[in-house]
Amino acid sequence: MLLRPAVLDESIIGKPLPWDVYTAAGVLLSPAGMMVDDEAHFQRLKSRPLFRPAGPEGDQTRPADTLLDLVATLDALYEDPQDPDLMAGIQVATQTILALMEADADAALGLTRCLPLASPATRHCLLCALICASMAEHQGLEKPVIASLVSAALTMNISAMKLHASLIGQRDLDPETRATIQEHPGAAVDVLYKAGVRDRIWLDTVMQHHENMDGSGYPTGLSLGDICQTARMLRVVDLYCAKVSGRHYRPPRSSMFAMQYMFGQERRKVDTQMAHLLLRRYGFFPPGTLLQLANQETAVVTRVHGQRHPLKHVVSFLDARGRVLERPAERDTQKPGFAVSRLAEPAPDWPEVDWQAIWGYP
């Protein structure tokens, strides 16, 4: 059974539940029609993440459509960072991201990783924004701070988006390109300031998102407590997303590889508390991770499992011969026939996949 988040608000008090309500593990908590008696009952229900069966009834919002519109908007803003509406456009994009995360954070992240988006550089900024929003919420940061952080993630490379797009296909950099890269945080702040941004958290986060804890970063060589909290978070997320995303010259790395990299050779450079927060939040199989199963089906992780919960349920969408399954099928990876064999990556000859259906959207 495919599940999607069940969003309840106080208007449900004194009314029957419109659908069965489950835990993330698929355990029925409350059947459809059960009365939500009072505020205390409502708060008990809201005390954990709730899910309901996927289905067409009342489902008007399709997150993939929203994401594709969002990417088109960001592409246009990145194409002309001198646009007088830049700040307003980024603020609207930020609110769209926060609304997507509130409605279905797993689908927002997973679909961003899986949808065939034209610009890898835009996808990278969007992924960073989504993960930062999730981490900041779990850390208990205030909503205005989270919004500033998300805006910073969307604009950290705004002075050199074309350069960053080209770097995705390059292994080696010439000295001139390296110099431009090291100047891009300051150049991005200049672009934002000219656009009217005066939010100190937003500007400082962009300026400092390549600073390292040991003072070896750029552009100013800040260290430890001189680097703001939001920049330390974005530094970790930026590095993580770069590792788990593919490049023209290499396939995507696993989340485990990215974590080993941060806790290994980068441990003196990044804020390891932020890295631990990322690991606790998403574990080694974040939503959107593509997998090959023991039966040769191709599957995707649709829900967060986290560090303390082993991967159990995934959704298969291609059969052993690479054909689209008639219906996405939930698989239990703890069973030998559906055990995870390896990571998968999209192939040029894949058939068209209805990614929204995999997350339970009609």
58 lies in some domain: no
pTM above 0.95, yes or no: no
209 lies in some domain: yes
- Residue-wise pLDDT tens digits, 195-252: 999 999 999 999 999 999 999 999 999 999 999 999 999 999 999 999 998 666 567 7
Range of the domain at 90: 63-282
**Residue 252 neighbours by CB under 8 Å, 6+ apart:** 244, 245, 246, 343, 345
Q: Which of 235, 256, 282 is the last residue of a domain?
A: 282
18 lies in some domain: yes
If we measure between CA atoms, which residue out of 350, 290, 362 comes closest to residue 325? Answer: 350
Domain identity same for 225 and 332: no
Domain identity same for 218 and 319: no
Domain identity same for 240 and 115: yes
Instruction: Give the count of domains, the chain.
Output: 3
Domain identity same for 121 and 220: yes
Model confidence at 267, pLDDT cuts 50, 70, 90, reads very high
pLDDT at residue 57 greater than cutoff 60: no
pLDDT at residue 162 greater than cutoff 60: yes
294 lies in some domain: yes
Instruction: Answer with the residue of higher pLDDT: 246 or 188.
Output: 188
Helix H or strand E segment including 343: strand 340-343
Domain identity same for 207 and 330: no
Domain identity same for 41 and 74: no
221-252 b/e with 16+ CB inside 10 Å = b? ebeeeebbbbbbbbbbbbbbbbbbbeeeeeeb
Task: Report the range of poorest mean pLDDT among 120-129, 179-188, 208-217, 230-239.
Answer: 179-188
Q: Are 53 and 19 in contact (CB under 8 A)?
A: yes
266 lies in some domain: yes
Domain identity same for 214 and 335: no
pLDDT at residue 132 greater than cutoff 80: yes
Domain identity same for 249 and 300: no
CATH of the domain at 86: 1.10.3210.10
Domain identity same for 261 and 332: no
Domain identity same for 84 and 126: yes
101 lies in some domain: yes
